[in-house]
Structure 1
Amino acid sequence: MSDVTWFADKKNKLRRVMQHAQHRAAGNREVVVTLTSYPPRIGTVWHSVRSIFGQSYLPDRIVLYLAKSDFPNREKDLPQSLLDMLWHDFEIRWVDEDLKPHKKYYWAFKDFRDSLVVTIDDDLVYRKTMIQELVEAFPKHPDAIIASRSHLIMFNEDGSIKPYDQWIYEAPYYHPALVGIPSMRLFATTGAGTLFDPSLFPELTFDIDLIKRHCLAADDVWLKAVETIAGIPVVAATNEQLLEYVPGTQDVALCHVNTESGGNDVIMGSLFGELEERGLLPAPFAQLVQDQSLDCLLS
């Protein structure tokens, strides 16, 4: 490590310590950033973590959840670039069950029930104001999910939901009037930076059998289903919706299957079908997320 890098690291750690102390003194609710990763991306995940260390509003801690089956030798299987970042406010937690992308929230919602959890992905670099935007929006909408990026569900004339690839992706970017409006019709893409109050989520959230049966690779769909059952709307925190990817990470991205190949439509049909059959959804999903009041904002 060069003298310049060493100094920058020490300066960053001092800033983190000072801001954490300010949060405690102000009585702020703890903010925990959580993410997961797996072998193809573990060598580059440090880019995402570093962008969180550079936030204008620093989280009180970052937790990286990894499956033991992915890294049988634990820390010995991890790159030094990641290990060098571990400190009192950044830790790795090992889990027995490989729930794929669900690992970024599943145990965090249990481990940090009284905190605010911000989920991120391992293939993105985050703009400096991301967490600040989420935290500032939360007091205005304490019973909602606060999202950095969201899509708008679109409907056919008969009231049925259009295919996922016909929704308005990153809708607040094109329609800024949607920012700050709670709606069941908004669909949060949770890896872009999404703030959750875990205490809002019912026990159904942790139904591993349902997750595995229908949507192991589609955590956003599962969370939207649970939010709909619990009546939790989504709020767009900003109209800045565009993503900055870590170079070289998109060859194995889930979006190629879930969105570009119609996977989300198949998953939603299967999942919502069972939820309706079992009476867990009080009405068809399309009815529960209808919100025509947003149509006037699409200009």
Structure 2
Amino acid sequence: MWIDYVLRQVGSSLSTGFKVADLLLTSRSSSRMIPHSGDTVISLTTHGPRLRTVYLTIESLIQGTQRAPIILWLDRDDYEGVWPKTLRNLVERGLQVRCSDGLYGPHTKYWGTFRELAGSGIRVVTVDDDMIYPTWFLEKLLIAAEASPDCVVAYRTHAMKLDDEGLLPYKYWKPTMDTEPSRLNFFTGVSGVAYPPSMVSFVVEQGDVFLQCTPRADDVWLNACALRSGHLARQVYNHPRDFAVIPSTQLSALVVGNTLMGGNDEQIALTYRPRDISSLIDAHTLELDRA
């Protein structure tokens, strides 16, 4: 599954090159501002060498047909270090940069923003720092989120597969090919996810126990929280959408470790409790009865 995804990204590398060049020029000339407040906030993190390229992701969001406040989380070393001019320019245009505790790995993308906004009634959209998002990204995501206000909404989900003994390994899960909300939809953060305010609050209430069970797989923890809180997941379209990857940022150890090397299965086993599996089996049985 992950190999197909990477091959699709490699196949679109030429198109991505044009997008990067366009965003580079736009970032030098655009004065389009980022809103400071609203009923939706976009949250992401970056680190190390990616400080030099994250402006491409953020610029693609600013140039969208719909905009929202953007919060970028940096670990302390990066926060107190020298920022690239591209990042400083974005701050002048409204980017909000926060300093993280530096303990949360991939969970940094959402954890600080969730804690900041829990109970506020504000929706949080998470994005990855190595993607170029299309101009319609936020607009289409929010249309789907408004249509399913109690759901976690994503551009990319997998259908969790089970047998009589429980969950099958992650590599056997298939892309979701509909927009129906389901407990069996496992959303992935790479293409963007919208979390309703009630989900934000629930996750914060659980504290940082994810550090013990799933420190390297934020998707695993957030999907478990969605299941336990009764938030179904749905896809924006009836097929997954993969967006352009910024060159040189993909194929990280996290991607390989969580997919090819079975890291997701390990962390799923540590995270999902017997009652979680029972709930998924019930959902699987119900869907079979409806078929």
Q: Same fold (TM over 0.5)?
A: yes
Deviations 1:91-148 (A, max 9, x none): 1011224201111111211222321111000111111111111111122211110111
**Which whole-Å CA distance do the structure 2 matches of 1:209 and 1:253 have between them?**
23
The answer on whether the counterparts of 1:143 and 1:232 sit within 8 Å (CA) in structure 2 is yes
Counterpart in 1 of 2:91?
86
Instruction: Report the secondary structure of 2:256's partner residue.
Output: helix
Counterpart check, 1:284 vs 2:278: yes
2:189 maps to a residue whose letter is T
**Which whole-Å CA distance do the structure 2 matches of 1:110 and 1:271 have between them?**
21
1:48 maps to a residue whose letter is T
Deviates more, 1:261-270 or 1:75-84: 75-84
Q: CA deviation at 1:255?
A: 1.4
In the alignment of these two chains, the number of paired residues is: 264
Normalized against structure 1, the TM-score is what? 0.79
Instruction: Report the secondary structure of 2:121's partner residue.
Output: coil
**Which whole-Å CA distance do the structure 1 matches of 2:233 and 2:227 have between them?**
10
Q: CA deviation at 1:164?
A: 0.4
Instruction: Report the secondary structure of 1:86's partner residue.
Output: helix
**Which whole-Å CA distance do the structure 2 matches of 1:243 and 1:124 have between them?**
7
2:249 maps to a residue whose letter is T
**Which whole-Å CA distance do the structure 2 matches of 1:285 and 1:255 have between them?**
28
Of 26, 35, 43, the match for 1:34? 43
Counterpart check, 1:117 vs 2:117: no
Q: CA deviation at 1:236?
A: 0.6
Amino-acid identity (%): 27
Counterpart in 2 of 1:228?
227
The answer on whether the counterparts of 1:137 and 1:237 sit within 8 Å (CA) in structure 2 is yes
Q: CA deviation at 1:208?
A: 4.9
Counterpart check, 1:65 vs 2:73: yes
**Which whole-Å CA distance do the structure 1 matches of 2:26 and 2:201 have between them?**
45
Please list, as runs of the form range in 1=range in 2, the aligned pairs for 1:104-253 lying within 5 A after superposition: 104-112=109-117, 113-156=120-163, 158=164, 160-169=166-175, 171=176, 175=177, 178-179=178-179, 181-203=180-202, 205=204, 207-238=206-237, 239=239, 241-253=241-253
Instruction: Report the secondary structure of 1:225's partner residue.
Output: helix
**Which whole-Å CA distance do the structure 2 matches of 1:33 and 1:249 have between them?**
20
Deviations 1:145-166 (A, max 9, x none): 011111111123x252111011
Instruction: Report the secondary structure of 2:91's partner residue.
Output: coil
Deviates more, 1:182-191 or 1:287-296: 287-296
Q: CA deviation at 1:210?
A: 2.1
What CA RMSD, in Å, does the superposition of the two structures yield over aligned residues?
A: 2.6
Closer/same/farther in 2, CA of residues 229 and 5 from structure 1, 3 Å limit:
closer
Closer/same/farther in 2, CA of residues 253 and 125 from structure 1, 3 Å limit:
farther
Counterpart in 1 of 2:30?
9
**Which whole-Å CA distance do the structure 1 matches of 2:27 and 2:169 have between them?**
50
The answer on whether the counterparts of 1:218 and 1:258 sit within 8 Å (CA) in structure 2 is yes
Instruction: Report the secondary structure of 1:254's partner residue.
Output: helix
The answer on whether the counterparts of 1:34 and 1:105 sit within 8 Å (CA) in structure 2 is yes
The answer on whether the counterparts of 1:201 and 1:230 sit within 8 Å (CA) in structure 2 is no
Counterpart in 1 of 2:4?
none
Q: Where do 5+ consecutive residues of structure 1 fail to align?
A: none
**Which whole-Å CA distance do the structure 2 matches of 1:223 and 1:201 have between them?**
10
Normalized against structure 2, the TM-score is what? 0.81
**Which whole-Å CA distance do the structure 1 matches of 2:227 and 2:160 have between them?**
13
